[in-house]
Structure 1
Amino acid sequence: MGDRITVCATCREGAGRALADHLREKGVAVRLVECLNACSAPLALAVTGEGKATYLFTGVDPEAQAEEVVAFAALYRDAPRGEVADARPCGNLRFCLRGRIPA
C-alpha cells in the first residue's frame, strides 16, 4: 500500500466526495469511507502510508483547502517515515491537525 488519503464521504453533506474527486485529479490516492467518527468537526480526513505516521485532520473546508490537502500529500510523500516537520507550506490546513500516530 502506498500513501493514501482517507476522506469521510458523508461529512458536510457529501462535500467529501467532491474533495476526493479533486484529489484524484491531482494524482493523490484516495479512499472514501462512510464515517471517520469526527462528526463534531467535519470534514475529516486521514493521511496514511505503509511504515509511516498517520495524520488525522478535522474541520477541513473542502473548497477553500483542497490545494492545501494536495500540498500536504506532497510533503507527506517526501517525508521519511511520514513525519512532516514543517507544515507551513500547507497554509491553514496545519491548524486542522487533530493527531499524529507514529509509525
Structure 2
Amino acid sequence: MVDETTPGSHARHPAQRDRGGWWWTRGGLVAIGFLLIGAFYLLREHYGHTLGALPYLLLLACPLMHLFMHHGHGHGHGGGGPHAGSDRGDGAK
C-alpha cells in the first residue's frame, strides 16, 4: 500500500480536486467564450423565432423541473421507516 504522503504516490491536494474540472482550464475557457459568442449571434439572427417559442419553452420547463427536482426526495422507495414524514414542518402533525 502506498502512503499518500510519499513523493511517488501522485496524491493531489484536496483543494486541487475541487477546482471544477476541464471547464476552468485554458481550453475550457476558450470553449466557453466561443459558445457564448455563438449563442449571441444565433439568438441575434433568430430573435423573432426565439421570442415566439419562449412561452412554449416556459411551459415545457415546468414538468421537466418537476421531474428533476423531485429526484432526491425518496419517492417510490417503499414504505415509511424511522425517518418517514420527517421533512414536514413543526406545524404539521
Which interval holds the TM-score relative to the shorter structure?
A: under 0.3
Structure with larger Rg: 2
Q: Choose between structure 1 and 2 for higher RCO, CA contacts under 8 A separated by at least 6 residues.
A: 1
More strand by share: 1
Q: TM-score, normalised by structure 1?
A: 0.23
